[in-house]
Amino acid sequence: MNDKRKKAENTILKLINDLDPSGANAEVWKIRFSSMSDKDFDTWMKKMYSNPEHTHISVDLDQSSNRTDTMIDLNHIEKVAKQWNVKLREYVAFPHLNPDDPEHPVVTSTPVPILVIYVRKMQQFLQHKNFSAGTTEHSNPITGQVTGDSKAASIGDMQTAALVTTNQKESLKEMLTIRADNMPGKMRMLSQIEKYGKVRYNDCFVNVNDSQSLETTRAFVQAACLKSRVLKPKNTNI
């Protein structure tokens, strides 16, 4: 390994360790670098310099963990950015908001966060595929999920994974219980809304064993003559 590559690797690993004090990501990148020849490393660096959108340094963070050394918040990011002299906020100009005089665009009054995000184009728009349900009468007795005219939207694996990775545990509790197939909890939720016009999750006394999907899974497993640990002990509230 030549001196220039060694210096570049050390700089990159220091940045990664500053972002992720646990050291887990640094170990991953050490393994990646060890598999590169000097020529491969040089090519990778040139690609990152010329096209950072496709070749860049990334770190994987587990924000659902309760470990304090893996939790990365905005204060930590701002601290690392200041240390590495990286601007996180800038004034943003909007030339399209002043089409008659694009040389004098509308500019934000204060600096705003600047970051790269990946956005998937939505298939549903206000003018297209817009739908809302006015009743919850129609449901699938096997899954407990609303169907037909009672179904307006759903949360799938990708949405659930997104909520998990951003540590939105309370939203998950609501979406996967009283807003899904936990019928006793849902009935208590609707009753609270009808009486008081509002409801709190804790007032619904949600028991995980009341979820229809779990009961259906347990029935399928037992029908196959297998032992089931799907259901938790009685009165397990979440």
Is residue 141 domain-resident? no
4 φ, ψ (degrees, to nearest 5): -65, -45
205 vs 237: CA distance, rounded Å:
7
Is residue 205 domain-resident? yes
* pLDDT at residue 89, as a whole number: 92
* pLDDT at residue 33, as a whole number: 93
* pLDDT at residue 108, as a whole number: 93
* pLDDT at residue 148, as a whole number: 65
Which of these three, 50, 66, 83, is where a domain ends?
83
* pLDDT at residue 238, as a whole number: 60
Nearest 5°: the CA angle 72, 77, 82 is 155
Which of these three, 83, 113, 133, is where a domain ends?
83
204 vs 187: CA distance, rounded Å:
8
In the structure encoding, which two tokens stand for residue 75, read together?
A: 């204060």
Is residue 75 domain-resident? yes
Q: With contact defined as beta carbons under 8 Å apart, do 191 and 178 qualify?
A: no
225 vs 231: CA distance, rounded Å:
16
For 187, half-sphere exposure in the C-beta direction (CA atoms, 13 angstrom radius) is 6
Is residue 153 domain-resident? yes
* pLDDT at residue 18, as a whole number: 93
User: How far is CA 4 from its chain centroid?
Assistant: 38
Q: With contact defined as beta carbons under 8 Å apart, do 114 and 81 qualify?
A: no
Is residue 136 domain-resident? no
Q: Residue 85 — left, alpha, or beta (φ > 0 → left; ψ -120 to 50 → alpha)?
A: left
Q: Tell me how far CA of residue 172 lies from CA of 59, 167, 185, 215, in angstroms.
A: 25, 9, 15, 19
pTM: predicted TM-score of the whole model, two decimal places: 0.51
- Total domains, the chain: 2
| pLDDT tens across the length of the chain (238 residues) | 688 999 999 999 999 999 998 888 999 999 999 999 999 999 999 988 888 777 678 888 776 666 666 678 888 889 999 999 999 999 999 998 888 888 899 999 999 988 877 777 766 665 565 556 556 666 777 776 767 665 656 777 888 888 888 888 888 888 888 888 888 888 899 899 989 999 998 888 888 888 888 888 888 888 888 877 766 655 556 6
- The range of the structural domain enclosing residue 36 comes to 3-83
Q: With contact defined as beta carbons under 8 Å apart, do 180 and 145 qualify?
A: yes
The neighbouring-strand residues paired with 112 are 90
Spatial neighbors of 143 by CB under 8 A, at least 6 apart, are 181, 212, 213, 216
Which of these three, 52, 68, 83, is where a domain ends?
83
Q: Tell me how far CA of residue 7 lies from CA of 58, 189, 198, in angstroms.
A: 19, 60, 60
Is residue 104 domain-resident? no
Q: With contact defined as beta carbons under 8 Å apart, do 103 and 114 qualify?
A: no
* pLDDT at residue 168, as a whole number: 87
* pLDDT at residue 230, as a whole number: 65
Is residue 121 domain-resident? no
Is residue 185 domain-resident? yes
User: b vs e for 67-105, b when ≥16 Cβ sit within 10 Å of the residue's Cβ?
Assistant: eeeeebeeeeeeebeeeeeeeeeeeeeeeeeeeeeeeee
